[in-house]
């Protein structure tokens, strides 16, 4: 089993497309739009880059058998955003989590599976802890599960941003993420990690079927 916590690296080279994308993001941020609207406009900038050959260096495409890997491509402390490449080997996934900021994700290579969750009515999401800390919130309900192919985009903003992402395919998956926070300072976009609400159901299912439900991440 691989870890659901990312292993981090910082990119050693800045590519021209990163500078161009960062300039476009700054223009969006200067409009001072609501977080989700900001994320959607930033997604429009990222979309044309997805799947482009040679976009990343070999180092930026490198995975890690111990966990999915986070490559910090660009961080802008002044404007407060970061560009990240996440690399997933088969079977790697995030914990169930939410975020400290708006975020955009686009599948650059391979296929990713995303499971979203929502709080049970009246349950809330508990108290906020330190970034990345596991908390015991009210119960979550699985909302929807989608398979995102190369080129797929998503835009999220708190509070509707609780999800789990992973690679359930046979090959490497790479996604590009843009976060409205300086990850060179924070280290991660994850605000809270939640207990997996599907774990008990999965355990029960494996007693009556021969194939357990597979587990799949900015």
Kindly report, residue by residue over 64-100, the tens digit of the pLDDT.
999 999 999 999 988 999 999 999 999 999 999 999 9
Task: Give the pLDDT confidence score for residue 212 in this predicted structure.
Answer: 32
Mapping DSSP to helix (H, G, I), strand (E, B) and coil, where does residue 81 land? strand
Quick one: tokens of 10?
């910082």
Over 70: is that where the pLDDT of 11 sits? no
**% of the chain exceeding 70 in pLDDT:** 77
Which among 7, 1, 10 has a CA at the least distance from the CA of 183? 10
Over 80: is that where the pLDDT of 161 sits? yes
Look over the chain and give the mean of its residue pLDDT values, rounded to a whole number.
82
CA 91 to chain CA centroid, Å, is 15
Q: Are 97 and 194 in contact (CB under 8 A)?
A: yes
Average pLDDT estimate for 146-175: 94
Which among 95, 97, 83, 108 has a CA at the least distance from the CA of 173? 108
Over 70: is that where the pLDDT of 32 sits? yes
Quick one: tokens of 151?
């080129």
pTM score = 0.79
**Confidence tier at 103 by pLDDT (50, 70, 90):** very high
Over 70: is that where the pLDDT of 13 sits? no
Average pLDDT estimate for 29-48: 98
108 is in an annotated binding site: no
Task: Give the pLDDT confidence score for residue 62 in this predicted structure.
Answer: 96
Q: CA-CA distance, 173 to 110, in Å (whole number)?
A: 4
Q: CA-CA distance, 196 to 10, in Å (whole number)?
A: 29
Number of neighbours of residue 203 by Cβ within 10 angstroms = 10
**Confidence tier at 137 by pLDDT (50, 70, 90):** low
Task: Give the pLDDT confidence score for residue 211 in this predicted structure.
Answer: 31
Q: 173 - beta bridge partners?
A: 88
CATH superfamily entry for domain 3-206: Jelly Rolls (2.60.120.10)
Q: 78 - beta bridge partners?
A: none
pLDDT tens-digit series, residues 174-218: 999 999 999 998 888 888 998 888 775 433 222 222 233 333 345
- Comparing 100 with 9, which gets the higher pLDDT? 100
163 is in an annotated binding site: yes
**% of the chain exceeding 90 in pLDDT:** 61
Average pLDDT estimate for 128-150: 70
Over 90: is that where the pLDDT of 5 sits? no
Q: 134 - beta bridge partners?
A: 193
Q: CA-CA distance, 88 to 148, in Å (whole number)?
A: 14
71 is in an annotated binding site: no
Residue ranges covered by each domain of the chain: 3-206
């Amino acid at each position: 089993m691989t870890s659901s916590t990312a292993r981090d690296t910082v990119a050693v080279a800045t590519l021209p497309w990163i500078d161009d994308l960062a300039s476009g993001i700054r223009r969006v941020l200067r409009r001072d739009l609501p977080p989700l609207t900001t994320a959607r406009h930033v997604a429009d900038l990222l979309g044309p880059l997805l799947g482009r050959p040679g976009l990343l260096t070999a180092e930026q495409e490198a995975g890690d058998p111990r966990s999915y890997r986070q490559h910090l491509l660009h961080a802008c402390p002044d404007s407060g955003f970061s560009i990240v490449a996440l690399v997933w080997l088969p079977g790697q996934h995030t914990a169930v989590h939410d975020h400290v900021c708006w975020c955009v994700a686009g599948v650059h290579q391979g296929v990713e599976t995303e499971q979203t969750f929502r709080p049970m009515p009246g349950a809330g999401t508990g108290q906020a802890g330190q970034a990345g800390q596991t908390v015991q919130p009210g119960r979550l309900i699985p909302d929807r599960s989608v398979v995102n192919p190369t080129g797929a985009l998503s835009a999220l903003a708190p509070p509707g941003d609780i999800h789990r992402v992973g690679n359930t395919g046979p090959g490497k998956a790479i996604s590009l993420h843009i976060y409205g926070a300086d990850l060179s300072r924070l280290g991660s976009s994850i605000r809270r990690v939640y207990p997996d609400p599907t774990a008990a159901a999965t355990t029960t299912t494996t007693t009556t079927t021969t194939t357990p439900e597979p587990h799949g991440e900015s």
